[in-house]
Structure 1
């Protein structure tokens, strides 16, 4: 299996954009923004985006100036745009409405949306504050995703040097995109906040996440269906639920996930480490997965494949279907496990996991004097180097 390649160069150069901005006024101020954190500045953002997206130049820019806090309601930055490159510079702070009541009559599924915009760079060093506490206190099952920032059907996108905090649910959503670079982010929400995934990826290809810190109430990174060529490198995860592929196949659909690479990731006191989770009714495949140079510190469930994933444990009927999981390599895995079962490969009786490789793994109990074990169900593969706890794979 190939190791991770370096991310492609960013498609924009922010130093070029700064010269495009009016020398005397910030663009947002020119369109009537107040920036006091209380006044609704949504219209100013809408009008500035229109001017930027329709600019008759090859390169265009927007600036959220430093020293200001902008209250913005749900809105879409829609393309396609005339410039081939757009830089969205966030030096100040953008905040969401403070309570769910403020969202009535507006799009409650998104906050800041970039849709159909190619050649986009969103750069800091500012902050996006989803002010999600009000959402955490209500039944989250009636709301899906509610991300701080979404990229939908965008190509050649970069997101960097931003602090993203307290999303109502998922912090960053990437759907239907190609060639996305996410780097030098800090994503933070309380460990108790429900469904606050750091980054969720679906139906996207060529996504690079590196040098990023994620602490949340759910998965640090979750990878959905119809994804390929995903590279997650040099990431700190915790608190949270780890890095997950899935859950997949809930509706009995055909799953297609290929070439997922998780390299040099550190998990600190997360509930899970590296996880693949699928529903029994799913079909299709997950293949070409590499977990390499991984460190666990007091992680409850370091290595998991769960092909019996269900909303209620044991509450789903057995089926003769399943998602084919194959060509999964765990290499250079070290650290401590809070649970007795440090390696748990619970594969489908209907569709076995195949070509699993455990290569140089050393997992010890978090509590001295305890022990850790491996548990396998219908999982086939091999081991190499030192593997502790001992491999339970079928050959």
Structure 2
């Protein structure tokens, strides 16, 4: 009997070792789990060696998952593997209410810009027209952007054929009730995450990292979208940590670490005389480290429309150049912007419970238009001190009307 039990136990152990080996090997297949709604890129021929282009395998995987009748299909990008992907767009609508895109491995962009020859150079990976999309996992999206940075017109304007438009790492276009969580982004050629024309989108617990001198590498840009939340994330970039573009509303930003980078920006808005419509923006609990800006609103002086109902609260600055800034007179020629009779109307903006240090002399800079002044500005409980001991900081407000309580440096606002 003991021999029989020992033999049975040995069979179980052998079976377990086989299953563990299969799970950790390249045969990391959805069939292991027996769930018909799982679609693994390895089952569609992905090489996962970081050398072979796996974009067609990913596209085929997505198409089957998207058209599946399963309740909540899952696209599986398995761990401990590198998937080289040329530019690819994953489109909907899909048959299911929700579709999961689980990234546990690494998605890597081609390092050479020449791969985009004849293609749309504004994007690398994109989801378009998908509802109920859930992107999750512990994986990495690596834009390998150095090749693009080295030929950027921003830093090399004299270079023949320099690049003005480089790929965004991951775009969400026309998506609704969707989210991305628990991902790591690195070194995008340009913006890391773009949320465009979406309604209902959550970003949670993502880390974005690119060098502070990498050109135009915004962390997250929101454009023409409503009901967006960005929470519990850490962003280091060469441009805005988070930027909010035209026709965006009901945006919640909470518990963000930002730096290096250009801060959290509304704008720029109104370029070329376009009309801006941005409202109901709430930025709460953000830590800025060595950024160019902190809480910024930037509008072109030729623009029209409005920015209204904005709250910046519970912000902390550590050696930030422009902790609080509104520039309503932005133009192409810095320092030579003539007063215009137009402007984007900025109103009902609240700054409260804001502390920290400024690395420049002007800690509060509200440069508003004479023709379209900033109105209903509230500033309360603000304490900004110089990052360098012994220096002084000051506030500069021009055509900015409202009320203030307990601010230092101050006073600043004009009463109405």
TM-score category (smaller protein): over 0.9
TM superposition outliers: structure 1 runs of 4+ over 4 Å: none
Q: Give the equivalent residue in structure 1 for 2:309.
A: 288
Q: Give the equivalent residue in structure 2 for 1:150.
A: 171
Query: 1:341 and 2:366 equivalent?
Result: no
Q: Is the 8 A contact 1:357 1:383 kept in 2?
A: yes
| Consecutive unaligned residues in structure 2, runs of 5 or more | 1-28, 155-162
Instruction: Give how far 1:101 is off.
Output: 1.4
Q: Give the equivalent residue in structure 2 for 1:248.
A: 269
Query: 1:22 and 2:31 equivalent?
Result: yes
Q: Hey, what's the Cα distance between the residues in 1 that align with 2:153 and 2:173?
A: 22
Q: Note the alpha carbon deviations across 1:343-375, whole angstroms, 9 max, x for none.
A: 000000110000001110000000111111000
Q: Which deviates the most, 101-110 or 42-51? A: 101-110
2:115 aligns to what SS in structure 1? helix
| Consecutive unaligned residues in structure 1, runs of 5 or more | 1-19
RMSD: 1.4
Q: Give the equivalent residue in structure 1 for 2:118.
A: 105
2:349 aligns to what SS in structure 1? strand
Q: Give the equivalent residue in structure 2 for 1:392.
A: 412
Q: Give the equivalent residue in structure 2 for 1:115.
A: 128
Instruction: Give how far 1:84 is off.
Output: 1.0
Query: Greater CA radius of gyration, 1 or 2?
Result: 2
1:102 aligns to what SS in structure 2? helix
Query: 1:44 and 2:64 equivalent?
Result: no
Query: 1:373 and 2:386 equivalent?
Result: no
Residue number among 221, 224, 236 corresponding to 1:200 in the alignment? 221
Residue number among 99, 106, 109 corresponding to 1:93 in the alignment? 106
Alignment of 1:267-346 (within 5 A): 267-346=288-367
Q: Hey, what's the Cα distance between the residues in 2 that align with 1:151 and 1:208?
A: 14
Instruction: Give how far 1:140 is off.
Output: 4.2
Q: Hey, what's the Cα distance between the residues in 1 that align with 2:129 and 2:153?
A: 28
2:407 aligns to what SS in structure 1? strand
Structure 1 residues 207 and 213: alpha-carbon distance in aligned structure 2, compared to 1, 3 A threshold: same
Q: Is the 8 A contact 2:152 2:215 kept in 1?
A: no
Q: Give the equivalent residue in structure 2 for 1:5.
A: none
Q: Give the equivalent residue in structure 2 for 1:59.
A: 72
Q: Hey, what's the Cα distance between the residues in 1 that align with 2:385 and 2:33?
A: 61
TM superposition score normalised by structure 2: 0.88
Instruction: Give how far 1:315 is off.
Output: 4.0
Q: Hey, what's the Cα distance between the residues in 2 that align with 1:292 and 1:68?
A: 42
TM superposition score normalised by structure 1: 0.93
Q: Note the alpha carbon deviations across 1:76-109, whole angstroms, 9 max, x for none.
A: 0001111110000000000001110122223211
Q: Is the 8 A contact 1:185 1:211 kept in 2?
A: yes
Query: 1:362 and 2:383 equivalent?
Result: yes
1:393 aligns to what SS in structure 2? coil
Structure 1 residues 316 and 193: alpha-carbon distance in aligned structure 2, compared to 1, 3 A threshold: same
Q: Note the alpha carbon deviations across 1:132-182, whole angstroms, 9 max, x for none.
A: 000001134643362110000000111000000000010000100011000
Q: Hey, what's the Cα distance between the residues in 2 that align with 1:278 and 1:24?
A: 53
1:135 aligns to what SS in structure 2? helix
Q: Hey, what's the Cα distance between the residues in 1 that align with 2:332 and 2:53?
A: 39
1:125 aligns to what SS in structure 2? coil
Q: Note the alpha carbon deviations across 1:37-61, whole angstroms, 9 max, x for none.
A: 0011111001001100100122111
Higher relative contact order (CA 8 A, sep 6+): 1
Structure 1 residues 23 and 46: alpha-carbon distance in aligned structure 2, compared to 1, 3 A threshold: same
Alignment of 1:174-253 (within 5 A): 174-253=195-274
Residue number among 61, 71, 75 corresponding to 2:88 in the alignment? 75
Q: Note the alpha carbon deviations across 1:210-240, whole angstroms, 9 max, x for none.
A: 0000000000001000000001100000000
Q: Give the equivalent residue in structure 1 for 2:287.
A: 266
Q: Give the equivalent residue in structure 1 for 2:403.
A: 382
Q: Hey, what's the Cα distance between the residues in 1 that align with 2:166 and 2:148?
A: 11
Q: Which has the higher helix share?
A: 2
Q: Hey, what's the Cα distance between the residues in 2 that align with 1:120 and 1:377?
A: 45
Q: Hey, what's the Cα distance between the residues in 1 that align with 2:199 and 2:114?
A: 35
Q: Hey, what's the Cα distance between the residues in 2 that align with 1:24 and 1:339?
A: 58
Q: Hey, what's the Cα distance between the residues in 2 that align with 1:101 and 1:83?
A: 37
Instruction: Give how far 1:29 is off.
Output: 1.1
Q: Is the 8 A contact 1:109 1:143 kept in 2?
A: no
Q: Hey, what's the Cα distance between the residues in 2 that align with 1:254 and 1:102?
A: 36
Instruction: Give how far 1:258 is off.
Output: 0.3
1:308 aligns to what SS in structure 2? strand
Q: Hey, what's the Cα distance between the residues in 1 that align with 2:313 and 2:122?
A: 35
Q: Give the equivalent residue in structure 2 for 1:351.
A: 372
- Count residues in correspondence: 375
